[in-house]
Amino acid sequence: MSANDNELLHTVKFFGIISTTINTIIRSMNDNQLLRYSRQIMLPQCDIEGQQKLLLAKALIVGAGGLGSPAAMYLAAAGIGHITIYDNDVVELSNLQRQIAHNTPDIGLDKVISTQQTLKNLNPDIEVIAIKQRLTGKTLESEVLAADIVLDCSDNFATRFAINQACVKHQTPLVSGAAIRFEGQVSVFTPGTHNSPCYNCLYSSDGEELQNCSTNGVIAAITGIIGCIQALEAIKLIISAGEPLIGKLLLLDGLTMEWRTMTLKKNATCPTCGGL
C-alpha cells in the first residue's frame, strides 16, 4: 500500500468514525474495499452507507452487447455486489467495435462468459452470475423478482416488453436504454412509485419491430455513452441520490450532440400498467 493510499485510508476511516452506525458498517468493509471505493465514499451523496448499499445490491443485466458491456463494467467497478447477466450469443468479430467487455481472443466465446471474465478481472470482490440463455417466461419472472434493479440492454422489442411486464408485476425498478446509428435514449421506470409510467406507456407493443444495429449500423461510442448513463441511473437509484430519469425520456443526437428530455406520462389505458 503506497503512502498516498495509507493517507487516503485514514481520511476515509476518519469520516466514517463520525457515527456509531457508520462505524459498524466500516467494520464490515476491509481496507482494500475502503480504498477501492474511496472516491465514491468521499461523496456525501454516497458515503460509506451508500457504498454498503451498492455492495449489497443485486442487479440483473439483460444483454451483454453494446449497452450491456459498459453498463456491466461500471456497475462492477462501482462495487455492485451481485450482478446477474443474461445473453444468448457468442462473441463475433463485428461485435468488438462497440461491445467493449469482449476482447479479440474472446471471439467464439459465450458473451456472458467473456463479460464475466472482464468483470471479475476488474473487481474480484463481487459476485457475477453469467447465464447463456434468452431470458423469458418463468425464469424472467424469478430473476426480476430477485433483483433490486434491472437494466434492459437488449436489442429486440419482444424482450423489452417481456422485461417491462415482469418489472411492473414485481415492482422492480427498470433502467431502459437503446442506441442506434448516432442516436441514443435512456429512461427509468419505477413501477408502483412516483406515478411512474412503464415502457409500454411509451411504446405500443403492436408497433413496428425495433430497428437493430445489425441492419442499421451504430457508431462505436454511442453505445458506451448510453450504457454508462444506464449504470449511473442504476447507481443513483440504489443509493437514492439525485433525481433519476423517472417519467422522463433522455434523447441524444450524437451528430449534433444535442440532448433533449421529454416528460413521459403514465397511460391510464396502458395494457401493462394502466390498472395498477
CB of 202 to Zn ion, least distance (A): 8
Q: What is 129-175 written as a DSSP string?
A: EEE-S---HHHHHHHHHH-SEEEE----HHHHHHHHHHHHHHT--EE
14: buried, middle or exposed (CB in 10 Å: 19+, 13-18, 0-12)? exposed
In this structure, are strands 149-152 and 174-180 parallel, antiparallel, or unpaired? parallel
Catalytic, 46? Answer no
Q: Is 200 in the site for Zn ion (CB under 5 A)?
A: yes
CB of 247 to Zn ion, least distance (A): 11
Near Zn ion by CB under 5 A, which window of 41-49, 150-158, 256-264, 265-273?
A: 265-273
Q: What dihedral angle (degrees, nearest 10) is formed by the CA atoms of 87, 90, 92, 96?
A: 40
Q: Which of residues 116-145 bind Zn ion (CB under 5 A)?
A: none
Q: Please tell me the distance from the alpha carbon of residue 228 to that of residue 147, in angstroms, as a whole number.
A: 20
Q: Please tell me the distance from the alpha carbon of residue 180 to that of residue 156, in angstroms, as a whole number.
A: 12
How many residues at the interface with Zn ion, by CB under 5 A?
A: 6
Q: Is 270 in the site for Zn ion (CB under 5 A)?
A: yes
CB of 197 to Zn ion, least distance (A): 5
Residues 48, 62, 64, 201: which binds Zn ion (CB under 5 A)? 201
CB 213 within 8 A of CB 180: yes
User: Residue 73 or 273: which CB sits closer to Zn ion?
Assistant: 273
Residues 35, 78, 166, 198: which binds Zn ion (CB under 5 A)? 198
Single out the catalytic residue among 167, 201, 213, 270. 213
Near Zn ion by CB under 5 A, which window of 5-13, 22-30, 180-188, 266-274?
A: 266-274
Q: Please tell me the distance from the alpha carbon of residue 181 to that of residue 193, in angstroms, as a whole number.
A: 33
Near Zn ion by CB under 5 A, which window of 12-20, 22-30, 142-150, 198-206?
A: 198-206
**Which residues are tagged catalytic?**
213
Residues that bind Zn ion (CB under 5 A): 198, 200-201, 270, 272-273
